[in-house]
Amino acid sequence: MAAKRRFRTVKGMRDLLPGEAGAFAQVEATARRVFTLYGYREVRTPVVEDTDLFVRGVGEGSEIVGKQMYTFDDKKGRSLTLRPEGTAPVARAYLQHDMASWPQPVKVFYMGPYFRYERPQAGRYRQFSQIGAEVIGDPGPYSDVELLVMLLRFLEALGFEDLEVGLNSVGDSECRQRYSRRLREFLEPRRDELGADSRRRLETNPLRILDTKAPGERRLLEAAPHLREVLGAPAREHFQVVCGQLERFGVAYRIDDRLVRGLDYYTRTVFEITSGALGAQDAILGGGRYDGLIGELGGPAVPGIGFAIGEDRLVDVLPDSSRLRAGRTAPVCVISVGPAALDVALELAEDLRVADVAAISELAAGSLKAGLRKAGRRGCRWVVLVGEDEIAADTVVLRDFENSTQETVPRDEFVATVKARISA
């Protein structure tokens, strides 16, 4: 390698170059538009939080808290953490700013970078982008439905068609405890059929055994008791309303008994949307209800529900229609023929921008030929040319690459002419 000691991105982190960054911007703009349509408002919380917020919020038993956090001490010895997820910070903000005194429920959305120290892989980075939304303060199932419908609307707006919506209910904490006990009773006698990971989880978090990928364990679990069979009446009714309403709104979903999520705060409704076009990390979004989280953080018993979209994964499988609308450079390129017209070229480009026409100026070109070649490669369709002749005649040349035609127009009319040609 020519430059062996050149700096590069840190492991698990990446640069988004113009093409990719354009797709991200497109996705974010769509999210803002659709979520705003549903009455959600954007919030931005800090990237760094008190470590304890995640320990308490996400759960000590979770893998995230256990081994994936970027945690460090600041100069005063406070333990801080780069946020690994977005719900706990929003819940914190809800309490800190007493949003309980706002009209309930509070509906917010947010987007930005998150950090998890994991081994990078397809669709998994140490810094990744999430777009999330939360509804805090309504315990009812209709909020679940509206949130899911909004999500589908958003994906539809981006041109997605064949996505799998998985749905389940993990019940309230009493149901979960009851179920954990049953599952343990069922699996304990078959302990030696389980892998090391699952055996460990048998003690710590039996529910997580459900989403194992090991074929042998999956077969074993077919005979296991179902989570939804032990749901208490309130959780069961909640889930029934959610399912019924989703059907009413034409949302195609699949009930997935094995769908349990890794963050400890989830209760009742949980969901996940996957894409077959991704690799092993096929979840492009996941979420659920967290009726106990705010209480866990020291607040009142306020229920909530939300989701997080893995923007990197979403962009990976973004339909071409959305991708094309992203990118795009300026359609007009202003070239000076020879150095004598540089100042005029600069001025002409500025005239266009003042008139709201995106223009790129080609000021570094050597020959006119080189300038035209660059304009073409940059994807510009029109070129405005000025040289000594044009300055003398007070005109500019407007060339149309697509039709290989050009016209000479008076300088004081060129902006209007360019606008007319572009919109034609």
Residue 107 touches RNA, criterion: CB under 7 A: no
**x/- track of binding to RNA for residues 256-295 (CB under 7 A):** -----xxx--------x------xxx-xxxx---------
Task: Single out the residue of 93, 147, 148, 337 in contact with RNA (rule: CB under 7 A).
Answer: 337
Q: Which stretch binds RNA (CB under 7 A): 41-49, 122-130, 141-149, 178-186?
A: 122-130
Between β-strands 332-336 and 359-362, what pairing exists: parallel, antiparallel or unpaired?
A: parallel
According to CB under 7 A, which one of 119, 215, 222, 233 is a site residue for RNA? 119
Nearer to RNA, 120 or 234 (CB): 120
Residue 202 identity (one-letter amino acid) = L
Cα 297 to chain centroid, rounded: 25
Check binding of 343 to RNA (CB under 7 A).
Answer: no
* Closest C-alpha among 8, 100, 97 to residue 45: 97
Residue in 156, 164, 165 with CA at minimum distance from that of residue 319: 156
Nearest to 111 by CA among 165, 34, 192: 34
Site for RNA in 394-413 (CB under 7 A): 397, 399, 401-402, 404, 406
Question: 169-208: which residues touch RNA (CB under 7 A)?
Answer: 197, 201, 208
> CA torsion angle for 153, 154, 159, 160 (degrees, to 10)?
-80
From candidates 292, 387, 398, 418, binder to RNA by CB under 7 A: 387
* CA atoms in the 13 A half-sphere facing the CB of 183: 27
Number of residues that bind RNA (CB under 7 A): 69
Q: Which stretch binds RNA (CB under 7 A): 101-109, 164-172, 304-312, 347-355?
A: 304-312
Binding part of the chain for RNA, among 121-129, 177-185, 247-255, 322-330 by CB under 7 A, reads 121-129
- Piece of the chain touching RNA by CB under 7 A; list 40-48, 49-57, 120-128, 139-147: 120-128
Any contact of residue 118 with RNA (CB under 7 A)? yes
Residue 115 β-bridge partners? 127
Contact call for residue 422 and RNA (CB under 7 A): no
User: How far, in Å, CA of 157 to CA of 36, rounded?
Assistant: 14
Contact predicate 304/136, CB 8 Å: yes
Which residues between 62 and 101 bind RNA (CB under 7 A)? Answer: 62-64, 68, 85
CA distance to 102, 217, 257, 332, per residue, from 179 (Å): 37, 18, 13, 65
Q: Tell me: does residue 345 bind RNA (CB under 7 A).
A: no
Identify the burial level of 296 via C-beta atoms within 10 angstroms of its C-beta, where 0-12 means exposed, 13-18 middle and 19 or more buried.
middle
43 versus 384: smaller Cβ distance to RNA: 384
Of these, 92, 107, 116, 289, which contacts RNA (CB under 7 A)? 116
Please tell me whether residue 218 binds RNA under the rule CB under 7 A.
no
Q: Is 376 helix (H, G, I), strand (E, B) or coil?
A: helix
| Residues from 360 through 379 that contact RNA (CB under 7 A) | 366-370, 372-374, 376-377
Among 283, 265, 303, 264, CA closest to 124 = 283
Measured from the CB atom, is 116 or 323 closer to RNA?
116
**Distance (Å, rounded) from C-alpha 413 to C-alpha 399?**
15
Q: Is 369 helix (H, G, I), strand (E, B) or coil?
A: helix
Instruction: Specify the pairing of strand 127-136 against strand 304-310.
Output: antiparallel
Query: Looking only at residues 7 through 46 of this chain, which bind RNA when binding is defined by CB under 7 A?
Result: 8-9, 11-12, 14
Query: Contact positions toward RNA, by CB under 7 A?
Result: 1-2, 4, 8-9, 11-12, 14, 62-64, 68, 85, 116, 118-125, 128, 130, 197, 201, 208, 211-214, 261-263, 272, 279-281, 283-286, 308-310, 312-313, 337, 366-370, 372-374, 376-377, 385, 387-390, 397, 399, 401-402, 404, 406
